Structure 1
Amino acid sequence: MLKKWFPIIDWMSNYQRGFLKGDISAGVIVAVMLIPQGMAYAMLAGIDPVIGLYAVTVPLLIYAIFASSRQLAVGPVAMVSLLVFTGVSSIVEPGTPEFLNYVILLALMVGVIQLVLGLTKAGFIVNFLSHAVISGFTSAAAIVIALSQIKHLLGVNLQSHDYTHQFILEVFQRVSDIHLLTFFFGITSILILVFLKKYVPVVPGPIFVVAFSILVTYFYRLDEMGLKIVGDIPKGLPSFSIPVANIEAFQVLLPTALMISFIAFMESIAVAKAIAVKEKYKVDPNQELKGLGLANIFSSFIASMPVTGGFSRTAVNYQSGAKTGLASIISAVLIIITLLFLTPLFYYLPNAVLAAIIIVAVYSLIDINEAKHLFKVKKIDGWVLTVTFFLTLFIGIEIGILIGIVVSLVVFIWRSAYPHIAEVGYLKEQNVFRNVKRFPEVTTYQDALILRVDRSLYFANMSFLESKIEECLTTRPVKWLILDMSAVNDMDAVAIDQLEEIMNVCKEMNVTCILTGIKGPVRDLVEKAGWNRRYEKQIDYYSVDHAIKELKLKENVV
């Protein structure tokens, strides 16, 4: 029971000495990576950079104790930071005490939502966010994130806009106001980060540009030449506190909290499962929700921001040798040491460098290949991705993903309302029944029409099935209508009633309707509806072949 609630007991009790070297190495490398990233993503969320460091202390420790993934690296991520800023800035002015309090409250709400989902084993809800929607939203959000850092990259105070095209227009109008030194620092940092990532991956790019830019700024006093720097970062650990909340604040933040909860979990579980498969252990989605939920709750208790597992950070953690959650514990301890003793070192860190780190980090989130793949395989999914992408980019983050979800659900309902129904015939060489359109050489029967229903039946698609049967019987009069139900996994009460009506209408037309291959769960339903008494001879066939043999139609072919 304890292992179920505290997965740390499991991996600690089975800890091997050979794991230690990898865990220490990964813990140190990820800590070095987390320092600039945490500060950068806090800035992206519109709050003090030090809060990003708070977010990679206690939350990491809590996640390591309660979560089932042993390699997932938790902390602030670009996507969540953008959602935080977008959601809270629409309510209160960034930079105010109220703004920070709302961010902290949002972390608490996200944590509670995820914890409740985990406790009630309701993690399946996130499955309703289709891959096409997430891919389109992520690609667009990556561009929005990059654009949000343009003001730090150019050294220009740009106004906030509701729409992306308005922001881009202002950038072009303010070209003459660009601070050249800031722009040089930002562009140079981007080039160095890209170069190191591609050609010298063993060198941690973010920490290199941070250290280099701090030294250059300090020795040449570039802050006196207009280069904006981080400035004073409070030394010491965050104090325990409980967010100030009221009903109104909960109501206005709830949509953002729900969105962050789902998207953050999907980002985490995707990478956690991928690594767990490689390491041959299981990740429990509901336990992950509990771990992330508690991490966010404790993040709010130390006056910090929402956190989740990051793709790139987790990849680095795994590639650096992390075998257990000890790597995350080591990272958290090193960040705590940094907060206690090393924060003055970041005084001269340019904001443009943090902006460069964010821009390079989110570039990989733009997935053009996925759009090409979806259009090639299933065009409707490609259009769902495209609609979500452009709505997110030009209308807004929240509207984009909400409409994307609605569109994907409409597509799902449309597909289920028009199920694939195929006329099948006998393929003698393989001794199977196949679609007559795909296999013109199949044998069909003069007095029997065989239709295969390839989806579960419910109230929304029964009219389509009825129309299809009517169309077929009108164009081709037969004595027997054989419905292959082997692909029907479920039916609702309306479907049972309407299917019964179809059988009665067929009887009036002197056509006997036969159902074959009915699965156990569906058979249980029709028996409850009394079919075993009224239609026993019409539903008691194991397969189409069984029905054909029983009806002695083998010789009656066309």
Structure 2
Amino acid sequence: MPRLNRANILPFLNWLPQQTRASVGRDALVGLSGAILALPQSIAYALIAGLPPEYGLYAAIVPVIIACLWGSSWHLICGPTAAISIVLFASVSPLAVPGSQDYIGLILLLTFLAGVFQWLLGMLRFGALANFVSHSVVLGFTLGAAVVIALGQVPNLLGLEVPSKATALDSLITLLRHVREFDPASLGLGLATVLLGAALKRWRPRWPTLLITLVLASLTVWGLPHVFGHVQLVQGFVGRLPPFSPLPLDVETVLRLLPSAVAVGMLGLVTSLSIARSLATRSQQMLDANQEIRAQGLSNIFGAWCSGYLSSGSFTRSGLSYEAGAQSPLAGVFSALWVALFAVTGSALIAHIPIPAMAGSIVLISWGLVDIRGIRALWRVSHAEFAVMALTCVATLLLELQTAIYAGVLASLFFYLKRTSRPRVQQWMAGDEEVLKVGGSIFFGASHYLQVRLQRTHGQRVVIEAQQINFIDYSGVEMLHQEARRLLTHGRTLTLRRARAQVVEELKKLEGEDNCPILFED
């Protein structure tokens, strides 16, 4: 674990005293821009998660402040996201009625558990563990989640009340049974929102598209009550700061939510670290992955007690922070404070937003999640990783979302082990020597393949060029000893040439240096 010092306990003290009046003013303006973007997004994501709209705002306040102050990235802005929201909904909706107090309590408990998992990873310096969720898994999950999110909003777009289902396939089947009952006014309003939003994204990408479309839709419903008077509106709420929320910490519930908490916690870390690394490369900042992971964990641990559901890095808000010239993480802190101000003073405005328009906006958000360029690049670079991406996407559509993440991770590990289980071996004869140049580690997955290659040799002296062998485990050590003894019974020898000191040391441990049947050459 990291040694406790000021840098670990209060890392913001390393950069906060360096801020000037000009930099603070700049960050306040950048934070205002981020808040304008975050307000409609947070409300939309809360609805995706099956929560009342105010919980989206709560998730954009306390968790964001903690993640910014305790993290290491200058520009990473956290908060509720579409992918995390749909996983939470899929995980908890079978256990309680969405929007109910029991449901809210379970969502916050899952957030707390995911935060504890993230914090422990950071404290144990297991930041590299997030790398096991490969980029191809993230691409496939995001593509599948985009379809699930869009499909989940189609009933709202059509003005239908359809019960939610655990998988996308079940949702589609249920939707097809009720599709003829659609409301033309709701559909027209939702489609108009989609088309206007798509046009603004194309021609005015820097404008706050989501905010503009929702304001126009609200004005349309208000101005034409004889046409849209029956259209459902977003539920209003009492304006206040995030309230304290006690968590249902009984053992049975904790154990039931734990697998989902691990999956969604890992997904949040992968998303956050990917964004942070990308922006750090562009800003030439040194990033501390373990500190960032600890910050993500703390933000969700304390955020859950302050009514904030699980947050992670936001692509759009982090990109805006960088492009707008944020000087420090204070930009994210100011963004959260602006959102808090709105949560207190502007909550009544939420009740004027029509649900079909919000559904149309969420459909646009889900389309924005699809990384078409990344998918095409993946196909060009690696068909195996493209298969992992496709498998994860299909699993996302057919299975519960947390299960799909595990399926994608297992598929990535399968292809990785398959690739590393056949290390590169170049083989040639040099007089009475038969030389095998091995490029890769000799571990349990690769030892059988290399053993077969050794058993097919015919040279009097079998030599392994070992300078590229970085690691050998017990299975590899035992296999090489076994093959060396087999060769000795036929009057032949096994020699490792130019092996690393660490590899030689491991090979001599098995039977002692004096009894080692393997020869070594520099």
Q: Please say whether Structure 1 and Structure 2 have the same fold, judged by a TM-score greater than 0.5.
A: yes
Q: Determine the C-alpha separation between the residues in 2 that align with 1:146 and 1:360.
A: 8
How big is the shift at 1:530? 5.5
Question: Among 132, 135, 139, which residue is 1:131 paired with?
Answer: 135
Q: Which has the larger radius of gyration?
A: 1
Q: Determine the C-alpha separation between the residues in 2 that align with 1:382 and 1:208.
A: 37
Unaligned stretches of 5+ residues in structure 1: 425-443, 542-558
Residue deviations 1:337-390, cap 9 Å, x none? 112211112221111222222222221322344444334333222222221111
Q: Determine the C-alpha separation between the residues in 2 that align with 1:490 and 1:222.
A: 75
How big is the shift at 1:23? 1.3
Counterpart position of 2:187: 183
In the alignment, is the contact (CA less than 8 A) between 1:77 and 1:310 conserved in 2?
yes
Counterpart position of 2:10: 6
Within a 5 Å distance, the mapping from 1:175-214 to structure 2 comes to: 175-214=179-218
In the alignment, is the contact (CA less than 8 A) between 2:105 and 2:248 conserved in 1?
yes
Q: Determine the C-alpha separation between the residues in 2 that align with 1:239 and 1:146.
A: 31
Question: Among 348, 365, 370, which residue is 1:366 paired with?
Answer: 370
Distance 1:292 1:537, change over 3 A: closer
In the alignment, is the contact (CA less than 8 A) between 2:68 and 2:77 conserved in 1?
no
Counterpart position of 2:442: 457
Secondary structure of the 1:459 match is: coil
Structure 2-normalised TM-score? 0.94
Counterpart position of 1:527: 508
Distance 1:536 1:251, change over 3 A: closer
Question: Among 403, 407, 430, which residue is 1:445 paired with?
Answer: 430
The aligned amino acid for 1:451 is L
Distance 1:373 1:201, change over 3 A: closer
The aligned amino acid for 1:524 is E
Of all paired residues, the percent bearing the same amino acid is 25
Bigger mean CA deviation after superposition, 375-384 or 54-63: 375-384
How big is the shift at 1:80? 0.7
Unaligned stretches of 5+ residues in structure 2: none
Question: Among 94, 98, 113, which residue is 1:109 paired with?
Answer: 113
In the alignment, is the contact (CA less than 8 A) between 1:141 and 1:392 conserved in 2?
yes
Within a 5 Å distance, the mapping from 1:197-236 to structure 2 comes to: 197-221=201-225, 225-236=229-240
Counterpart position of 2:271: 267
Distance 1:358 1:464, change over 3 A: same
How big is the shift at 1:81? 0.5
Question: Among 245, 249, 254, which residue is 2:253 paired with?
Answer: 249
Q: Determine the C-alpha separation between the residues in 2 that align with 1:527 and 1:344.
A: 75
Counterpart position of 1:489: 470
Question: Among 466, 469, 482, which residue is 2:451 paired with?
Answer: 466
- Once superposed, what is the RMSD of the aligned Cα atoms? 2.1
Counterpart position of 2:153: 149
Residue deviations 1:229-268, cap 9 Å, x none? 1142211123223212211110111111111110001101
Residue deviations 1:269-295, cap 9 Å, x none? 111111122222222111112211121
Counterpart position of 2:496: 515
In the alignment, is the contact (CA less than 8 A) between 1:241 and 1:303 conserved in 2?
yes
Bigger mean CA deviation after superposition, 258-267 or 512-521: 512-521
Q: Determine the C-alpha separation between the residues in 1 that align with 2:9 and 2:265.
A: 21
Q: Determine the C-alpha separation between the residues in 2 that align with 1:537 and 1:262.
A: 44
In the alignment, is the contact (CA less than 8 A) between 2:94 and 2:166 conserved in 1?
no
Counterpart position of 1:551: none
How many residues of Structure 1 are paired with residues of Structure 2 in the alignment? 518
How big is the shift at 1:223? 8.8
Q: Determine the C-alpha separation between the residues in 2 that align with 1:507 and 1:229.
A: 83
Residue deviations 1:13-56, cap 9 Å, x none? 22245533531221011101111111110010001001111111
Counterpart position of 1:87: 91
How big is the shift at 1:118? 1.4
Residue deviations 1:292-345, cap 9 Å, x none? 112112221122311111111211121122121111121122112112211112
Distance 1:231 1:459, change over 3 A: closer
Q: Determine the C-alpha separation between the residues in 2 that align with 1:277 and 1:366.
A: 23
In the alignment, is the contact (CA less than 8 A) between 1:51 and 1:305 conserved in 2?
yes
1:341 matches 2:322: no
Counterpart position of 1:506: 487
The aligned amino acid for 2:351 is Y
Distance 1:171 1:459, change over 3 A: closer
Q: Determine the C-alpha separation between the residues in 1 that align with 2:154 and 2:312.
A: 25
In the alignment, is the contact (CA less than 8 A) between 2:11 and 2:70 conserved in 1?
yes
How big is the shift at 1:532? 4.6
Q: Determine the C-alpha separation between the residues in 1 that align with 2:178 and 2:246.
A: 42
Counterpart position of 1:394: 398
Q: Determine the C-alpha separation between the residues in 2 that align with 1:60 and 1:483.
A: 55
Distance 1:537 1:112, change over 3 A: closer
Q: Determine the C-alpha separation between the residues in 1 that align with 2:371 and 2:340.
A: 35
The aligned amino acid for 1:111 is G
Counterpart position of 1:286: 290
In the alignment, is the contact (CA less than 8 A) between 2:108 and 2:247 conserved in 1?
yes
Residue deviations 1:138-166, cap 9 Å, x none? 21111111111111111111233344334
Distance 1:268 1:520, change over 3 A: same
Secondary structure of the 1:149 match is: helix
Q: Determine the C-alpha separation between the residues in 2 that align with 1:46 and 1:535.
A: 64
How big is the shift at 1:465? 1.2
Structure 1-normalised TM-score? 0.88
In the alignment, is the contact (CA less than 8 A) between 1:243 and 1:303 conserved in 2?
no
Within a 5 Å distance, the mapping from 1:403-482 to structure 2 comes to: 403-424=407-428, 444-471=429-456, 473=457, 477-482=458-463
In the alignment, is the contact (CA less than 8 A) between 1:26 and 1:318 conserved in 2?
no
